[in-house]
Amino acid sequence: MPQPPFRPQRLHELITPWVRQQPGRLALRDDHVRYSYAELDAAARAVAESLRDSGVRAGDRVMIVGENCAATPLIALATSRLDAWVCIVNGRLSAREVDSVIAHATPRRVFYTTRVSPEALGHAERHGAEAIDWPQLGPMHMGPLNADAAPEPTSADAREQVAALIYTSGTSGAPKGVMLTHANLIFTAGIAGTVRGMHPQDLIYGVLPMAHIVGLASQVLGALASGAGVWLSPRFAPERLAAALGEGVTSFTGVPAMYARLLDWLREQGRTLDAPQLRAIGVAGSPLTPGLKAAIETAFRHPVLNGYGLTETAPTIAQVRADAPRSDCSVGQPVPGIAVRVVGPDGVDLPAGGTGELWVRGPNVMKGYYRNAALTAEALGADGWFRTGDLARQGDDGALYIAGRSKELIIRSGFNVYPLEVEQVINAFPGVVQSAVVGRTVGHNEEVVAFVEVPEGRALDEAALRQHLRANLSPYKQPAEIRRMTQLPAAPTGKLLKAVMKQMAERAEPEPAPDKPH
């Protein structure tokens, strides 16, 4: 009688089939260590025992402050074995940001990946952490036991048991911790493998921070669920990516700014990309513009597979499939098992082509926001539909097009201005790496302010840029101000910090508005 298919109920069980089928194949590596699937399984078991010996219990939060390295997924698999929650925080956050997350999550233990992150070492020293050298993890630091940390209830049900607590990036206000269950992350890991066509012969270059949900769920867990290997890198550098692509990497996903900087570096070096085994490239985290998409595809000689999701959806909502690339900048169709709605301000579903708020329901949707029942109820509601806060439209073929955050919508003299549309036009102008468009309040109106990233030493002809904008945008969409910067404010994940730029825009003296809308 055939055996029923194996259905993992905990994150650490994702690797179980591959430990049996291919124990010697590479599972995980960084610049210091390599683990086969059998070695990864044994190491995760040993780390789980060490965590238990250090006082970690089921329901405890275990925090990792640092940057990508093999120790982070090892601890994540180990906490899964204990029914503890893993909480990964980027070491490059400020002291205030790290401390606010610790205060909110109340972890039982905090680990610092000091081997790969000088910033993590700074946090470790501030917090009185001790240097440890567990054989499976290598040199790092461990913070003191928090005797006051209370464990959360546990459940045998994978849909109820929290696996990871991921904090969304923000610039002000209280921390917002997203509770993702084992079922959430197992679903996403499976989708990442099937939609992107990952298989055991793949080697994934993992530079997206694991503190960000794409780096954890799609990049690492998706690869491990597919029996592939993951090569973790602590932070992005174009020369490191280029070298890795020349050394057997088969798949890479990055934010648009990473691609833009790699293309810039290739031009400066007078080089073409050498990636003999590359077969798939993806983009996530920020909107993709047509000009950058075309430039990437020319350099890589592969179609860009766009995707879309949120921390609250673990993260996958829609993806362009590897077997059905697109010529436009759509984020693809909703992945199997997920339902979506595009809803107008009156709560009524809009027809195809209408722009409204995107609602999502499915096994990817979070359990809720940690210690914030009111915000959870506001986002999820009793009907289970998650209100994303993103503006989208759906094409006749079901593909989604993201217009931006509903809170970023600029209303100029009664006309809606979608920042993404303006950004796409700006980004198509020669010499622009990326841009961010925000609204600025002027009396009872709003005006458009554009922040434009241009590398140091490269000229920007603002008059020519404005002529380009006038030729491609309606008068009411024209920026009242264009600010050149050598690097736009961004989180360690690469996500642009529009709230910071909005504050910068609001502090400026308003400039005369362009032509009146008509």
Please give the share of the chain, as a percent, with pLDDT higher than 90: 76
Evaluate whether 319 touches 337 at the Cβ level (below 8 Å).
no
Task: Please check the confidence at residue 313 and state whether its pLDDT lies above 80.
Answer: yes
- Predicted confidence at residue 518, as pLDDT, reads 32
pLDDT digits (tens, 9 = 90+) for 400-435: 999 877 778 787 876 778 888 899 899 989 989 899
Instruction: Indicate the pLDDT class of residue 510, thresholds 50, 70 and 90.
Output: very low
How far is residue 70 CA from its own chain's centroid?
19
**Structure confidence at residue 38 (pLDDT):** 98
Cβ pair 276, 246 in contact under 8 A: yes
pTM of the model: 0.85
**Residue from 141, 188, 142 nearest 163 by CA:** 188
Mean pLDDT of 85-98: 91
For residue 66, the Cα-to-chain-centroid distance in whole angstroms is 16
Q: Residue 164: which of 64, 67, 68 has the closest Cα? A: 64
Q: Which two tokens stand for residue 383?
A: 């009907």
**Domains of the chain, each with CATH number or no CATH:** 11-183 (3.40.50.980), 330-405 (2.30.38.10), 409-507 (3.30.300.30)
User: Across residues 479-493, what is the average pLDDT?
Assistant: 89
CA distances from 34 to 37, 232, 235 (A): 10, 10, 18
B/e letters for 474-505, b = 16+ CB within 10 Å, e = fewer, are eebbbbbbbbebeebbbbbbbebbbbbbbebb
Q: pLDDT tens digit string along 8-20?
A: 999 999 999 999 9
Q: What is the mean pLDDT of the chain?
A: 92
DSSP 490: B
DSSP states along 225-255: HTT-EEEE-SS--HHHHHHHHTTT--EEEE-
Structure confidence at residue 493 (pLDDT):
67
